[in-house]
Structure 1
């Protein structure tokens, strides 16, 4: 088999996997760059594999466009290498506290609601936070997240119901931050709620999020003035893990551009 035939087969296989991955997750209303980008890349790879000879012949006779085409591929491979390094960075540096010291507050960062219930990722975060809240009943539990598209309840309200029903967390221990739409706002909007309870953000506070998200969340918290924080990372479901990592790649970039760290 010629090299070009192997390339076509490779692009077709990789493209199909990426397209199906993105399409299935989008069908379950997980619409973000971590699902849309694989869908589009997969579609491009499949089209390229199917029309491989036509595309290559076209660029062979259009030198200037061919130069742009090759430059585009160079940029893609550089980006892919950087993505690989980032994935390895996340895998090796998921930062979290194994034992939780006494704290004044527990902040749980939101991660999406589906049909009035916590998403699988958010449920993992709540299940991670619940034992800490039960072990430290004097610590306030701040649940963060506004209203998702197509939902009628805020993430914070859904999280509260979940914790009260499944883990029997008393409502008196819970504070709702139900306006935020990002990690930065989760932490920023939590501050007035903590201050109203006479809790200073320089006091011991634990932040609960997904394992891949602990590094960026900690950096944002420190930038905002949180000084004595511990991080608890919940395991990310395998079905969405690498899509979440891809989304985090771009979140890191945007956070740096927006000076969130």
Structure 2
């Protein structure tokens, strides 16, 4: 009987070890590839760290099991640690389910007085795929509403040029007249995008209560809408562009923590 129990426990441990190594390798490879492409943020670094940790756990599974089983206190802490991880995964899955079912915001019938395009923190001095998707959506919206001011918002951060300048250049190269474009070039966060844009919109003749379309990414519309209301946009509609598939789940992971951070900082 004891031999059978030990064999089952041994098989279970081998399965767990193999799973830890497989998942760890996938996460680590994903993080390394995205860093090589120039993406370096929480949504990339966290999966990389988790992946390396799981690989280390898989490689030292027996030593870890002996260390955990040495005292009852360690075994209890180990159980509570995995319960906390499970709780985090459940809340993350629920958040991702909301993002996956969230459709593009219904565009109101009233035409916007302004279209605000949020930067995406793209690396280098050219538009990233995520930012290109936002700009293309903004272009389509601007063509539908030729009277609307188009404000591009993004600061310098680690780039040689401001993201606002990069965005304005992209739009002009695709036929949008420079006279329709207003550049906001100081912001480094979503809250700053929206706060710093308000006086520029006012200077361009856009009333505080005028309808505004805020163009961002699909995953970002939820938080953008919450921040916009707190920033005083009384008639704003957040419109989301598709996120490239190879970046989608990394960015969704980052957005999970970004929403928590915005709540702690009272931005939403």
Where on the TM-score scale, by shorter chain, does this alignment land: which range? over 0.9
Give the corresponding residue for 2:170: 162
| Alignment of structure 1 residues 178-193 onto 2, 5 Å | 178-193=185-200
d(CA) in 1 for partners of 2:130, 2:221: 14
Structure 2's unaligned 5+ residue stretches are 1-9
SS at match of 1:184: helix
Q: CA offset at residue 86 of structure 1?
A: 0.7
Per-residue CA deviations over 1:198-238 (Å, capped at 9, x if unaligned) read 21231111010001111110111111111112222100000
d(CA) in 1 for partners of 2:259, 2:123: 25
| Alignment of structure 1 residues 213-228 onto 2, 5 Å | 213-228=220-235
Give the corresponding residue for 2:161: 153
Give the corresponding residue for 2:88: 79
SS at match of 1:114: coil
Computing the radius of gyration over CA atoms, which structure comes out larger, 1 or 2?
2
d(CA) in 1 for partners of 2:122, 2:70: 51
Q: CA offset at residue 99 of structure 1?
A: 6.8
Q: CA offset at residue 36 of structure 1?
A: 0.4
d(CA) in 2 for partners of 1:101, 1:215: 21
Checking the alignment, whether the CA contact within 8 Å between 1:94 and 1:215 is kept in structure 2 is no
Q: CA offset at residue 100 of structure 1?
A: 6.5
- How many residues matched? 259
**Does residue 127 of the first structure (1) align with residue 171 of the second (2)?**
no
TM-score by length of 1: 0.95
Structure 1's unaligned 5+ residue stretches are none
d(CA) in 2 for partners of 1:79, 1:34: 15
How big is the alpha-carbon RMSD for the aligned residues of Structure 1 and Structure 2? 1.4
d(CA) in 2 for partners of 1:253, 1:113: 22
TM-score by length of 2: 0.93
d(CA) in 2 for partners of 1:97, 1:232: 8
